Structure 1
Amino acid sequence: MKRIIALSCFAAVVLTGCGLIGQKDGKANNEAATAATEASTTAAEETTTEAETTAEATTKEAVTDPAATTTEPDGNVSAGGLMDMYPAIYQSVIKDVFDKTAAEHDGMASIEFGFRDLDTDGIPELLLKYGSCEADFQIHLYKIDPEDGADDLGVIGGGHTSFAYDENTGDLVIVWGHMGAASINYFKWENDNLKSSGSYDFNIDEKTPSYEAVLEEKGIRYMDVVYATKYSDGSVKSYFSHPNGESEEFDELYLDYMG
């Protein structure tokens, strides 16, 4: 079931280690021509020449056939193949984390995820926040890996946070806010990972009446995100939330949004 509703949120930063999750793809099979083995045994040199010619023709056919370019000779998935495969890889990661979190917390779990192409390679990275409540939430960053499915690049935040970006630079921002205190935490992609690049702290008071006023002044924009909660009775609710405050509700783990 899907319904359109209104929803608002707000959301802290701790940098730490890394891990790995995903599956390796097997190496592609290279079918060399075997017609030479059926040739006449009376001319060995002629047989060898025929085999080399057939193999060369097979190689040319593989290069010109678009269907044959989804894997590289060493078994790595090509860029074109990754564009087709990354949604399924991320869906598997999200579902696995959701189920494991529920198993560790008496059947209950909460997750939030969004996407942003941080390394500008055309394939978005996954921001995945999960836990049982704001007190134990962690935000992990995942990047597609041609060999391993998806790499967990580590923890970049925690509870009381929201995913956003700086419209002036395009860089990722994680906004933290709790009981009137807040910070805007900036990140940049450097050396194949995400690095903290500073923060701006503020408080809600008479001079600063709202979080939104500060974010507007700084050019900070929220991202599309999906929230999902699994309850002790096994039921699941998901909300696909948009920056304009609207949200779509689903009676399932919603995985169709892939950035």
Structure 2
Amino acid sequence: MKRIIALSCFAALVLAGCGKTGQSSSSSESTTAATAPTSAETTATEAATETAVITAADTTAAGTEAEPATHEANVSAGGRMDMYPAIYQGEIRYVFEQTAKDNDGLSSIEYAFRDMDADGIPELILKYGTCEADYAIHVYRFDENCELQDLGTFGGGHTSFCYDENTGNFVILWGQMGYATLHYFVWQDGTLKVADTYDFELDEQNPSYDDVLREKGIHRIDFVSAYQTDIKGGVKSWFYHENGTTEEFDGLYLDYMG
């Protein structure tokens, strides 16, 4: 079935020799890749060993066709609401398992949700790879025809998912070695675009990333992280809540749907 993939992305520069990322069943080859910056975990960015730079780009490209689940066109909003959890769960599982298959069992993902187009169904934010140097963030939309659209690559390693309390808009925090950038996104012309950026560095006035986030009215988004070192080691998942609490699960945890 035809899939429409609009790509609005960061230009990528992958610096270290980590394994290649998995290819999503619904994602296409992207002409714009993610750069590696910001830590996936709350304040762990300063310990990263890889260096990368995120450059905002306003490039779009057509993607290749993939094989999503088959759906009837023009499904009602209620039908879409019932269907999207299973579609997202299938995509998350596919990407995790494909990444492991391509990297001798090593796989790492983070996923979260945010309704960026205000249609009542959240977009899926999915970061995957093997380490900070090759992480890529893709954003998926479940469209009106119940097809999964990969909107493109919007970042990479050393990143955290956030939102702006003033606008409700999606924000990506990149931070490494005391330097950081907030990338503010808006939904425009059917896809995500970078509307603004804010660069800062840690000092005596701003001793932590969270201090700056509080000052700017930026909140971290609840997200799930899953990791597997090899096939025999099994999968562990962690649910990171905005309030700082964490839950641990055996296996790939897929019950969270935003």
Q: Given the two structures, how large is their TM-score scaled by the length of structure 2? A: 0.75
Unaligned residue ranges in structure 2 (runs of 5+): 1-40, 46-53
Deviations 1:226-257 (A, max 9, x none): 00002212400000110111111000100000
The number of equivalent residue pairs is: 205
5 Å-filtered alignment, 1:132-151, equals 132-147=130-145, 149-151=147-149
Shift of 1:10: 5.5
Q: 2:107 aligns with which of 109, 117, 132?
A: 109
Counterpart contact for 2:43–2:209, Cα < 8 Å:
no
Map of 2:218 onto structure 1: 220
Q: 1:170 aligns with which of 168, 171, 174?
A: 168
SS at match of 1:194: strand
SS at match of 1:134: coil
What is the distance in 2 between the residues matched to 1:114 and 1:182?
A: 21
What is the distance in 2 between the residues matched to 1:249 and 1:14?
A: 34
Counterpart contact for 1:186–1:199, Cα < 8 Å:
yes
5 Å-filtered alignment, 1:69-148, equals 75-147=73-145
Larger radius of gyration: 1
Shift of 1:209: 1.5
Map of 2:16 onto structure 1: none
SS at match of 2:227: strand
The alpha-carbon distance between structure 1 residues 251 and 99, as it changes in their structure 2 partners (threshold 3 A), is: same
Q: Which amino acid aligns with 1:25?
A: H
Deviations 1:148-200 (A, max 9, x none): 53111100111000000000011100001101101111000001100001110
Counterpart contact for 1:131–1:137, Cα < 8 Å:
yes
Counterpart contact for 2:179–2:201, Cα < 8 Å:
yes
Counterpart contact for 1:9–1:162, Cα < 8 Å:
no
The alpha-carbon distance between structure 1 residues 181 and 18, as it changes in their structure 2 partners (threshold 3 A), is: farther
What is the distance in 2 between the residues matched to 1:174 and 1:8?
A: 12
5 Å-filtered alignment, 1:157-196, equals 157-196=155-194
What is the distance in 2 between the residues matched to 1:18 and 1:124?
A: 23
5 Å-filtered alignment, 1:16-55, equals 17=61, 19=63, 22-26=68-72
Map of 1:249 onto structure 2: 248
The structure whose residues are more often helix, as a share, is 1
Q: Given the two structures, how large is their TM-score scaled by the length of structure 1? A: 0.74
The alpha-carbon distance between structure 1 residues 182 and 144, as it changes in their structure 2 partners (threshold 3 A), is: same
Deviations 1:96-155 (A, max 9, x none): 111111111111100000000000000000000000000000000100024353111100
Q: Which amino acid aligns with 2:248?
A: E
What is the distance in 2 between the residues matched to 1:10 and 1:119?
A: 31
SS at match of 1:87: helix
Deviations 1:74-110 (A, max 9, x none): x432211000000001001100111111111111100
Map of 2:154 onto structure 1: 156
Q: Give the RMSD, CA atoms, in angstroms.
A: 1.8
Q: Which amino acid aligns with 1:77?
A: V
The alpha-carbon distance between structure 1 residues 192 and 80, as it changes in their structure 2 partners (threshold 3 A), is: same
Map of 1:235 onto structure 2: 234
The alpha-carbon distance between structure 1 residues 211 and 129, as it changes in their structure 2 partners (threshold 3 A), is: same
SS at match of 1:151: strand
Unaligned residue ranges in structure 1 (runs of 5+): 1-6, 27-74
SS at match of 1:173: strand
